[in-house]
Structure 1
Amino acid sequence: MEEIISMSYGNGGKKTSKLINELIVPKLKNDELKKLGDGALLNISNEIAFSTDSFVIYPYFFPGGDIGKLSVCGTVNDLLMCGSIPKYLSLSFILEEGFKIKELEVIINSIQKVAKKIGVKVVTGDTKVVDKGHGHGIYINTAGIGERIKGLQLGKHKIEIGDKIIVSGSVGNHGISILCKRENLLEQNILSDCAPLIDLIDILQEYKDDIKILRDPTRGGVATTLNEFVEDMKFSIELKEDKIPIDSDVKMAANLLGLDPLYSANEGKALIVVSRDACDELLEKLKEKQIFQNSEIIGEVVDYVESKVILEGKLGGKRILDKLSYDILPRIC
């Protein structure tokens, strides 16, 4: 195999077969993928969830991950937020002519590693090559299918006054990490939180009667995601600033750059709206898992104003957090 991707790797001929059979299939092998059909026949016994996402992040290698890891985590986490157990993924590459085969191999290794950890199978895919200068290296599309958790009904229509808001860890890491890496802004590496949230499954199953809605606060961050919960609703969400976990290096970088971590993207966190009665116990269960050890109750649902997200500061003052209205940083996922 050559050292770089040429246009002939995307023409469907010998080099395309070589790329698939010698690099992709051996690392992601399973009975369905090795058939190399135009699609996959899957066995799902329950109601399914379906999600798709495209990843154009730059740089495609970053502290804490790469575009391959991100592509799996992003779609798997979306399936989890639907209240489903991830089962199958499709995987499509758009490669730019001149992209290094060695870098592609590293990315595929990342995909294989995280998919194996989660227990999902890549069962179908596609590869295209575009002219040099038209692809910024590599883009990835993944689509996923999950099996719905029986009895778990999610939606903002279930939210009630007094419900609590839990975040599963420190916020803002991914967006700040990518900005610092892309622009070489700080000496220390701030790690992205890119991670699969697969450890949520048993909690979703145990507390399915108490969890109202889930969301991973990616683009637009925590503030924008919570605004989606309250849009056109009779209630609001009030957050306590001193309860929101933010890593010290993220806070320092955000202050230096004039950014708000509440609007910075996350790629390994969940926002959970849960009933008041179950919130303390659910939080304890979350904290037992290493990935969720920094989880906190950060606010609650209130009714003294409609359709707002309000932040109560450390000194008691309050301000409204609107949706993000501009691009802090494009191409973060």
Structure 2
Amino acid sequence: MAERPRLQRAARDRRRPGKVREPFVSQAHGGGGKAMQDLIDDVILGALDNPGLDVDEDQARLAIADLAAAGDRLAFTTDSYVVRPLFFPGGDIGKLAVHGTVNDLAVAGARPLYLSCALVLEEGLPIGVLRAVLASMGAAAEEAGVRIVTGDTKVVERGAADGMYVTTAGVGVIPRGVSPSARAVRPGDVVIASGTLGDHGAAIVVARGDLKLEAEIQSDSQPLHDLVAALVAAAPVHALRDATRGGVAAVLNEWAMASGVAIHLDAAALPVRPVVRGLCEVLGFDPLHLANEGKLVAAVPEEHAARALAVMRAHPRGRDAAIIGRGREGPPGVVTMSTGFGGERVVALPLGEQLPRIC
């Protein structure tokens, strides 16, 4: 079985004399001819090549036996990434695309295995920028232990894509007995956040430079599947979600409505970096509404909460985990939070994007 990937790669290397010598993406790179083949062979496969990526076919072919050996259900997800700017402290659009799709699989309890990658490139995009994004994407996939096994490339006219857009889809396998669900939160469940909140959204605000802000904030973009695997092995988990667009507020409101429970948060327990909190105070943002790209929220039964928290804190991607709230009896579908004055306020769904184009 090991011989076929070697043969594929040898055949692929024989047909790779072409090099991209132009400094910018042109319409020819999306036209299906030699320029496009050179772009694929030199730039794309140069960064993403792996034994599962067969460029002689238009689809990936996955062994059912290999999938079945890892669990009893498939998880399948897709997402598009239009972040501006393409590069930001702590990440870039390529790294973000891999991590976002891996995490969407992970919070189903799945082991991520395979990704697809579709690129929409704007005419005039520097080839060096494309190489850098793809190199980052390849490194992120290798770090997460997933393979990018199929893809597509399109080129649009200048001004139509703001550089590049990336769409990734992912396939993973869910182990038997693991089934977190937004409908499974119960009164008494403890809500745990895996780390500091709002880092990604705050990093994008600063990286855009529109407001002339100076702050050292890194995006939290990172894969979470190993953290999830440790968590579900240690404790029953009723619900899991990565808190991306809309932040923790969006996740908890969805859970409260889907499960028919109330959820109450402790404001003093929210793990927010001082620099992010200060940025929110200046701009009028709510850290609970800011996007995260490497943090999850879990709901676990109260009797297992201490164990779940300890396991998360012992993992390098969950060292700042904190209990932030609880499910409770009350008006179903309502999320509230204690205030510093002894009262409570409603934590509503954000009305819209506080900051568009963050992922």
The one-letter amino acid of 2:25's match is I
Out of 14, 36, 47, the position equivalent to 1:27 is: 47
Q: 1:290 aligns with which of 316, 322, 325?
A: 316
Q: Distance in 2 between matches of 1:230 and 1:13?
A: 52
Paired residues for 1:71-90 under 5 Å = 71-90=97-116
Counterpart of 1:227, as a letter, is N
Contact 1:154 1:214 (C-alpha < 8 Å) held by counterparts: yes
Correspondence for 1:230: 256
Moved more, 197-206 or 130-139: 197-206
**Paired residue type of 1:37:** E
TM-score, normalised to structure 1's length? 0.97
Q: Which has the larger Rg?
A: 2
- Given that 1:9 and 1:19 are in contact with CA atoms closer than 8 Å, whether structure 2 keeps it comes out as yes
Matched letter for residue 56 of structure 2: L
Give the gaps of 5 or more residues in structure 1: none
Matched residue, 2:3: none
1:36 Cα offset (Å): 3.5
Q: TM-score, normalised by structure 2?
A: 0.90
Q: Tell me how large the CA RMSD over aligned residues is.
A: 1.3
Q: Which residue of 2 aligns with 1:36?
A: 56
Shift of 1:205: 3.9
8 Å CA contact retained: 2:54, 2:60: no
1:198 to 225, 236, 250: 225
Q: Using the TM superposition, give the Cα deviation of residue 325 of structure 1 relative to its aligned residue in structure 2, in angstroms.
A: 0.5
- Deviation of 1:225 (Å): 1.1
Distance 1:234 1:191 in 2: 36
After superposition, give the CA deviation of every residue in 1:50-104 in whole Å (9 maximum; x if it has no partner).
0000001110111110000000001100000111000000001000000000011
Aligned residues: 332
Contact 2:234 2:307 survives alignment (8 Å): no
Q: Does 1:330 align with 2:350?
A: no
Q: Which runs of 5+ in 2 are unaligned?
A: 1-19
Answer whether contact 1:9 1:129 (CA < 8 A) is retained: yes
| Alignment-derived partner of residue 122 in structure 1 | 148
Provide the residue aligned with 2:158 in structure 1: 132
C-alpha distance in structure 2 between counterparts of 1:221 and 1:71, whole Å: 18
Greater CA drift, 145-154 or 163-172: 145-154
**Displacement of 1:184:** 4.6
Question: Which of the residues 272, 295, 304 maps onto 1:246?
Answer: 272
1:306 to 311, 314, 332: 332
Asked if 1:92 corresponds to 2:118, the answer is yes
Structure 1 runs, 4 residues or longer, greater than 4 Å off = none
Counterpart CA distance in 2 for 1:158 and 1:95 is 41
Deviation at 1:185, TM superposition (A): 3.0
**Identity value in percent:** 39
Q: What per-residue deviation string (whole Å, max 9, x for no partner) do you get for residues 228-269 of structure 1?
A: 001154310000000010001100111111111110111100
**Residue among 205, 220, 224 paired with 1:179:** 205
Once residues 4 and 189 of structure 1 are traced to their aligned partners in structure 2, the CA distance between those partners, rounded to angstroms, is 32
Alpha-carbon distance between aligned partners in 2 of 1:187 and 1:159, rounded to the nearest angstrom: 40
Match of 1:65 in 2: 91
> Quick one: structure 1 residues 35 and 234, their matched pair in 2 at CA, closer, same or farther if it must change by over 3 Å?
closer
Aligned-partner Cα distance in 2 for 1:51–1:292: 24
Q: Give, in whole Å, the separation in 1 of the partners of 2:256 and 2:291.
A: 19
Q: 2:170 is matched with which residue?
A: 144
Provide the rounded CA distance (Å) in 2 between the counterparts of 1:115 and 1:87.
10
Q: CA deviation at 1:179?
A: 1.4
SS in 1 for 2:204: helix
| Alignment equivalent of 1:13, drawn from 21, 33, 37 | 33
Output the CA distance in 2 between the equivalents of 1:23 and 1:64. Answer: 23
